[in-house]
A and B are shown apart, each in its own frame.
Chain A
Amino acid sequence: MKGVVFNLLEGAVSRAFGDDMWDRLIDAAEVSGAYTSLGSYPDSDMEALVAAAGQDLELDRDQVLRWFGQNAIPLMADIYPDFFSAAPDARTFVEGINSQIHTEVRKLYPGAACPHFNMRSNSSGDLVMDYISTRRMCALAQGFVEGTAVWYGESVTFEHVTCTSHGAPHCTFAISWSSETLDKVKAA
């Protein structure tokens, strides 16, 4: 896994719980903790860190990954503002993951194993996404989608239609966005 993901996790944890929390997770996960965005590190380091966080916060793996995804988005928007300014709304941003975001990621980090999303619209106009990755981090993907909606000031409904953790060959999400809902919530 690319070092930049570890950097994002460190940033999210430190911002939410302070620098000491990150030290504790490194110790508990028994990893080196020295990550540079240019490098690549074993997936097992990430799993160990996620497990340590789950232990500390009393959350399961998926909950930690989802939280990480939600909280990584504001950090990403700081590092790569162009990714976000290029898309006018959350749906456009998500729809451009394969062609825009991951293309740019591969330029910056040669050899990055980005997941691929097959996308289409269903009859009610929701975006249907297939998540195809050996890492089984569908919860991280969900967190990213939800974090993005927040960043754009929209509300999102994320339905995990099928999941590999329940024996499906791949995960499928059905996603719908609404900018008005959040406005109403805010107004209320």
Chain B
Amino acid sequence: MISVPAPSDDLLAKIERLERRLAREREARQMAERIAEQGTRDLFVKRQRLKLVESIASAANLLDDPSDAFRVALDEICTYTGWATGHVWILADYPSDTVKLVSSGVWSSDSSVEAKAFRRVTESMSFGPGPSLPGRVLQKRQAVWISDIALDVHFQRTQVARECGLRAAFAFPALIGTEVGAVLEFFQGWPREPDETLMRTVEQIGAQLGRVVERKRNSDRAAIDKAALEAEHRAAEQASRAKSAFLAVTSHEVRTPLNAVLGLAQTLRREPLTPGQHELVDGVLASGEMLLRLLNAVLDMSKIEANEVTAHLSDFDPGTMVGAIVRIWTPYAREQGIELSLDTTELGSRLIRSDEGRIEQTVVNLVANAIKFTPRGESIAIRVSSVEGSLRVEVIDGGPGVDDSDRERIFQPFEQTETGREAGGTGLGLSICTGNVRLLGGEIGTDRTETGRSRFWFQCPVETSTRVHLEQPVEPDEVQGGLRVLAAEDNPANRRVLQLLLAPANVELTFAEDGQQALNALATARFDLVLMDANMPVMDGVEAVRRIRSGDLAPGATIQMLTANAFTDDVSRYMAAGADGVLTKPIHLPSLFAVLAACGKAVPSSSAVALSH
């Protein structure tokens, strides 16, 4: 046996100290481990909470329908907390003046099985601000916790909740700013003390969900605004259509009496008159024709809006046309103490091809303007000239003229100079002129003459007419006598005009007052020419023409439509129905006689009738 010497006291004391040191170190280590484990746990919980907030935030960003975002939030929060069921209250739309929460019908996925009765009761209720769970959230705008609903006197669904095994509850708002947009509530099967961290977390989630509710609200409002705008747009279109219809009807209504005035005046002109009376009748005719062109211009304005304007080319003598304008305006100008003079010495070709109505309208506007701005005692010179294939018209007035700075502007719609405003203009005259001249490919402008007088001018390219001279009007005696004419016309005044116009032609005239009467007349007699008004009661002209042609009721007869509606569409409709031509009202006497003359040549005998079959 080996004997071991007994350790010294010193050594024993040292061992004891070391053991104590070791025990301290061990204790410190265990403490450190506990602290580290707790830290790790805390970290895990924080990460879970962060994941919860993140997943709901991303759902809130991606989903447009609040119900979808709510469903995600309910499920995520139930998973995170382990609570049994969750539900969303939303604000009722009606009545809009009170704040009221109603069930959205959105529940967390697992809540249907256990809490069926609780669901039913909940969905039948609604809450305003008050002591109820959703009511408190609505009022306080923050999360509310009920540790045990059995002990909360204000909780209104206690009985059914307990039957369904629900005891603790918390709820929080989806906030839009400071406004409650919805309330989310959650229930748990046993009493639980408030978890402040959880409450702060769900409030954070509430802010995210509030953004979805806000987005939805904004998009709903935008849709309502859009619908209102569309309704306004439809109303405006409707108004525009009504205006067009009004213009069309008005033009027809105005043309009918104008037709009578012009027709009667033309007839009167054929009577034996004194030179003075003749001049008066010519004045009536000239003014009436100008009124007609004005009417056409108004209709053109309505077409301008639809970009349907075209130039109506015809052969005319610009010198004569401008001369007529000057004659018409002279008496008025004299009343203002102003002399008008016309100079056509530099007008080469007397016969040109262009749009007479537009050129006339432009000249009238410029002359009227000149009279407006010329002081008493001054004069206005109007020059019509030919310049390199163009027609140039100058109106030189005695007014102050236009400043250089205004020269471009005054040709724009509604643009006026101060002087123009004082003179009471509409600001439209020159822009109409600009539109007319541009349509004809020309230019319009204002400047000063060599002597410093104010000058407005326009110049547009014109074709020289291929005709040597204007067609001489067909005289009544060129028309073969005894032509049988059937005229269908519902307006008595127009019937009178037709009667007067046709009197010199010595025709056999029969009247019908509508399409049906015309068909009846054709059944009993034969006619060489049928004049058919388009718009008539009982049966309109188009229908009548269609039946005449399809039933061959007027063999060999020429059918001419009489109409104030001579738009391109209408004309093609008439021709499709079987009309041979269109005479526009007011009836232009030379055109009517040209038709009669042609009729007489084409259908004078039975052989011609046979040929037409």
Contact = CB atoms under 8 A, between A and B. Distances in A.
Interface of A: 3, 19-20, 23, 26, 32-39
Contacts of A26: 24
B24 A39 contact: no
A34 B27 contact: yes
What are the 4 tightest A-B residue pairs by CB atom distance, in nearest-first order?
A: A34-B27, A36-B32, A38-B35, A34-B28
B29 interface: yes
Contacts of B309: none
B312 interface: no
Contacts of A35: 28
A70 B278 CA distance: 133
Nearest to A20: B17
Interface of B: 17, 20-21, 23-25, 27-29, 31-32, 35-36, 39
Contacts of A19: 21
A19 B23 CA distance: 15
Nearest to B20: A23
Contacts of A37: 32
B25 A39 contact: no
A8 B29 CA distance: 16
B35 A39 contact: yes
Contacts of B39: 38
B374 to A, nearest CB: 88
Nearest to A41: B31
B378 to A, nearest CB: 90
Contacts of A34: 23-25, 27-28, 31
A35 B28 CA distance: 5
22 contacts: A3-B28, A20-B17, A23-B17, A23-B20, A23-B21, A26-B24, A32-B27, A33-B24, A34-B23, A34-B24, A34-B27, A34-B28, A34-B31, A35-B28, A36-B28, A36-B29, A36-B35, A38-B31, A38-B36, A39-B28, A39-B32, A39-B35
Taking each of B17, B27, B31, B39, which has the highest tally of chain A beta carbons within 10 Å of its own beta carbon? B31
Nearest to B13: A20
B17 A39 contact: no
A119 B589 CA distance: 111
A38 B32 CA distance: 6
A32 B26 CA distance: 12
Contacts of B24: 26, 32-34
A33 B24 CA distance: 6
Given A26-B24, A34-B27, A35-B28, 17 more contacts: A20-B17, A23-B17, A23-B20, A23-B21, A32-B27, A34-B25, A34-B28, A36-B28, A36-B29, A36-B31, A36-B32, A36-B35, A37-B32, A38-B31, A38-B32, A38-B36, A39-B28
A32 B25 CA distance: 11
A34 B39 CA distance: 20
Nearest to A6: B28
B27 to A, nearest CB: 4
B228 to A, nearest CB: 57
A23 B39 CA distance: 31
Nearest to A36: B32
Contact of A39 (B20, B21, B23, B31): B31
Contacts of B20: 23
Contacts of B25: 34
Contacts of B36: 38
Contacts of B27: 32, 34
Contacts of A23: 17, 20-21
A39 B24 CA distance: 14
Contacts of B23: 34
Contacts of A39: 28, 31-32, 35
Q: Which among B27, B29, B36 has the highest number of chain A CB atoms within 10 Å?
A: B27
Nearest to A24: B17
A119 B498 CA distance: 113
Contacts of A33: 24
A32 B17 CA distance: 14
Contacts of A32: 24, 27
Nearest to A22: B21
Nearest to B42: A110
Contacts of A20: 17
A3 B34 CA distance: 14
A32 B39 CA distance: 23
B34 to A, nearest CB: 9
A33 B20 CA distance: 10
Contacts of B35: 36, 38-39
A36 B31 CA distance: 7
A185 to B, nearest CB: 40
A26 B23 CA distance: 13
B30 to A, nearest CB: 9
A89 to B, nearest CB: 35
A35 B33 CA distance: 12
Contacts of B17: 20, 23
A35 B26 CA distance: 10
A35 B29 CA distance: 9
B39 to A, nearest CB: 8
B412 to A, nearest CB: 68
A26 B29 CA distance: 18
Nearest to A38: B35
A35 B24 CA distance: 8
Contacts of A36: 28-29, 31-32, 35
A19 B25 CA distance: 13
A19 B22 CA distance: 13
A52 to B, nearest CB: 16
A141 B35 CA distance: 28
